[in-house]
A and B are shown apart, each in its own frame.
Chain A
Amino acid sequence: MSSRILVVEDDERIRSSMRMALEDEGYDVDEAASGEDALDRFSAQPADVALIDLMLPGMDGFECCRALRRQSAVPIIIVTARTDTHDVVAGLEAGADDYVTKPFVAKELGARIRALLRRARPAEDEPTVLTFGDLELIPEQGVLRRVDGEGDIHCTRTEFRLLCELAANANKVLSREQLLDRVWGYDYFGDGRLVDVHIRRLRTKVEPDPALPRHILTVRGMGYKLVP
C-alpha cells in the first residue's frame, strides 16, 4: 500500500502539478485548499505525511501546523517561498519536521518524504530499551515513558528518532552533520537549524528544566550529546 500525502496549498495550479509529480513518485495524494480544509480531511482520513504551504488564506500555515500537531505525530514538511531564518525556524517551532523552499524539484521533495517515512521505522540493531534520567525509551515500540510509570511522553517521530540516536550513542558527541544524516538523511550541507530546533523541542519534553539541560547537552562548536 502506498503512502498517503496531504498537500495543503491554496494555489490550484501548484496543487495540481504537485499532485501529478508526487503521484509519479508513487504516492497517493490528498489535496486541501486551506488550513481548515486540511484539518477536516486529516480527521476523515489520516495521511502519512503532510505538506503545508506557509502562506495560506484564513488559518495560516503555522497555525495549521500547530493544530495538526495537537492531534497527531504525523511528519510535517512545510513549503515556504522564503528561506528567511524567521519563517523556517517559526515553522519548525510550530511542529514541522522538515522544510522545502519553492520552487522545488519533485525528486528532491520525494527524497525528503522518503526520508521522513523511512526513519519512522526504527533501525534493527538498536538495543530494546534505553534509559536516561527517569526516562525509558523503547525504540521498537516507539515508546518514551517515565520509569516511575507516570505515563508516556508524546513526541513526534522525528523527535523520537533524534532521541534514539542520541541515547544509542550516550556520552558521545554527535555533530549536527551526523544527526542530519542519520535522522533526516541530509548530507554535510544540510540545514543545522533543523537539529537545533528539534533539540530545543525535545528539551522542553524530557528536561526537568529546559533552560538548564542536564541530559541533552550542547557541546560548543562540536554538536550535541546525551548524558544519562
Chain B
Amino acid sequence: MVSLAEERPPPARRTMRVARWRSRRGPFSHLGVRARVTFLFGAGALLLSVSVGGISYLTTQHFLVSDSENAAVQQAGSEAGAISVGLADHDADPEAVVLASADPGTSAVLFQHGKKYSTFFVRAGYIPSSLQVLVRSGSAARENVVIEGTTHVVVGVPLTSANAEFFALFDESQLEHTLHILALAIVTAGFVTTVLGIFLGRSASTRSLRPLTGVSRAAVAIAGGQLDTRLPAATGDADLGAFANSFNTMVDQLQERIEREERFTSDVSHELRSPLTTIAASFDVLEAHQEELSARARQALGLLGADVRRFQRMVGDLLEISRSDTGSADVSLEDVEAGELVRRAVAASAHRLPNAVAPPDVVVDPAVAEARLSVDKRRFERVMTNLLENAALYGGGATLVSACPGPARVDGAPTLQVSVEDHGPGVSESERSRIFERFYRGQLSGRRGDGTGTGLGLALVAEHIRLNGGVVRAEETDGGGARFVIVLPMVELDAP
C-alpha cells in the first residue's frame, strides 16, 4: 500500500504543483507574451547601450582630459623656462618678457615681488589662492577653474631663480565641447539601440507567435463546428512540427468522439424506427377494432395511443436534431409568398392540435402579404406547429399569429416578422433563452399530462429558424402572455 501511494501521487499534489507553477509567474504575467518579450528586448538594449556608452565616454574623457592637461603642463613648463631665462637679465621688463615668451594664444600671468604681469587682462582672482600658495612654496601644480563659464586649466610653475611664480591659463572649452558632442552621440546611439531593441523584440515575438495565430484561428473554426480544420504540417521546423502534430492529433480524437456521439444519437433514432413502425401499425389495427374491446381495454388503448404518437414524434424530433448536429440537415429553399405561407402553416398545424384548442386569429400586414421569401416550407410548418403546440400546452392556446415587416438587417435586407401570441402566464425573463434548450421544461414542468410535448419542440424551432437564416426570441405581451417572435430574411422586392 505504501509503495503504491508513493508511486502514484494523490491528485491533491498535482493541484499543488499547478498552483505553485501559477504563483511562480513573474510580475509582468498580466502582460501578453508579446508585450513581455518587447519589454525585455527594450530593457536589454537600454542596459547594453548605457553600459557600453558609459564606459566609452568615461574612457575617452579620461584620455582626452589627461592628454590636454599634459600638453598644458608641457607648454607651461617650456614658457616658464623661457621667462626664467628672460628674467635672468635684471634690467628686463617682466611684462615684456612675459609677452615675448608666452604663446600668443595663452593667457599667462607672472607674479614677482608682489606685482602682477600678464599677457592679457588676467585678474589675480582667476588664479585660485590655494594654487598660488602651493606654487609659492616651490612646487609646480595645476588646477581646473571655471572662469566666466568656461573651464580652464591653470598651471603654476615656480621660478625660484627669479623669485617669481608663473601661471598659464589654458582654455579647455574645446575639449568640453568635444566631450559634449561625444555624450550626445552616445545618448543618441543608446536611444536608437533601445528603439531598435523594442522593434526587434516586437517583430521577433510576433514572428514566433505567428503559428499561434493560426492555432487560434483553427481553434475558433473547430469550436464553430468545422471539425475538419487542421493545422498545416510545419515541415522543416521541428518545434512547430511537433506542436502541429499534437494539435492535429487532439482534434482528430475530438472529431472522432463528437462524430461517434452524433452517430450514436442518429443510430438510436434509426434503430427505434423499426420497432416503432410495428408498434404504430399494430396500434392502428387495435384502434380500428376498438369497438370489439371491453371498456377497460379501450381505456388502456387510449393511454397507449397518446404515448405511441408522442413516442413517434419524439423519435422524429431526435432524428431531426441529430441530423442538424451531424450537419446533414438538408434545407430546400423555395420562393413563397409570406401571407400564403403563414396562413397555410397555421391551417396545417391546426390539424395536429387537440380539438379543445381554438385556432388562433391570423393577421397579415398587407405590406408583406405578397412579399416573397426564400424558405424551407416543411421546416416553417414544423416551426408553426411546435409554437402553436407550445402555446396550447403552456399558454392556453395561441390567440394571434401575425406577420408584418421586421427590422431591416445590418446589410439592409428586409425581413419578415412572424409573431405567435397567447394569453397564458408568459415566460419569465430568466427563462427566455433557456426555453430553447433541449428537454428544458422550466417552471411548468409539473404539468405533464396527456398532451405534454416531446421536450424538443422549441429547440427544433430555434434549429429550423437558424437553418432558414432567421432568429427567434421569446417576449412578453402587454397582457403578460408569451409572444414568440420569428424574424426571417426576405427576398428584395425588386430582385429579378
Contact = CB atoms under 8 A, between A and B. Distances in A.
B185 interface: no
Interface string A106-127: 1100000000000000000000
A105 B280 contact: yes
Interface string B315-352: 10001000100001010101100001000110010000
B335 A222 contact: yes
A102 B348 contact: no
A175 B348 CA distance: 19
B377 A189 contact: yes
B192 interface: no
A14 B334 contact: no
A152 interface: no
Given A103-B315, A189-B381, A193-B332, A11 B284 contact: no
A81 interface: yes
B274 A24 contact: no
Interface in A150-208: 176, 187-189, 191-193
Contacts of A217: none
Contacts of A13: 275, 278
A188 B330 contact: no
Given A24-B288, A84-B328, A188-B344, A221 B335 contact: yes
A189 B344 contact: yes
Most buried by A among B278, B284, B372: B284
B350 to A, nearest CB: 12
B280 A103 contact: yes
Nearest to A187: B348
A20 B282 contact: yes
Contacts of B277: 14, 17-18, 102-104
Interface in B254-280: 270, 273-280
B106 interface: no
Contact of A102 (B273, B332, B334, B377): B273
B281 interface: yes
A85 interface: yes
Given A14-B274, A103-B315, A187-B348, A20 B372 contact: no
A103 B312 contact: yes
Nearest to A222: B335
Contacts of A187: 344, 348
A21 B280 CA distance: 10
B371 to A, nearest CB: 13
A191 B376 CA distance: 10
B92 interface: no
B278 A82 contact: no
Nearest to B276: A103
A14 B278 contact: yes
A24 B282 CA distance: 11
A76 B377 CA distance: 25
A200 to B, nearest CB: 15
22 contacts: A13-B275, A17-B278, A17-B281, A20-B281, A21-B282, A21-B284, A24-B285, A24-B288, A83-B319, A84-B330, A102-B276, A103-B281, A105-B284, A106-B280, A106-B284, A187-B344, A189-B377, A189-B378, A192-B377, A193-B332, A220-B335, A221-B372
For the complex of A and B, list the 7 residue pairs with the smallest distance between their C-beta atoms, beginning with the closest. Answer: A221-B335, A17-B281, A106-B284, A85-B330, A103-B277, A103-B276, A188-B344
Interface of B: 270, 273-282, 284-285, 288-289, 312, 315, 319, 323, 328, 330, 332, 334-335, 340, 344-345, 348, 372, 377-378, 381
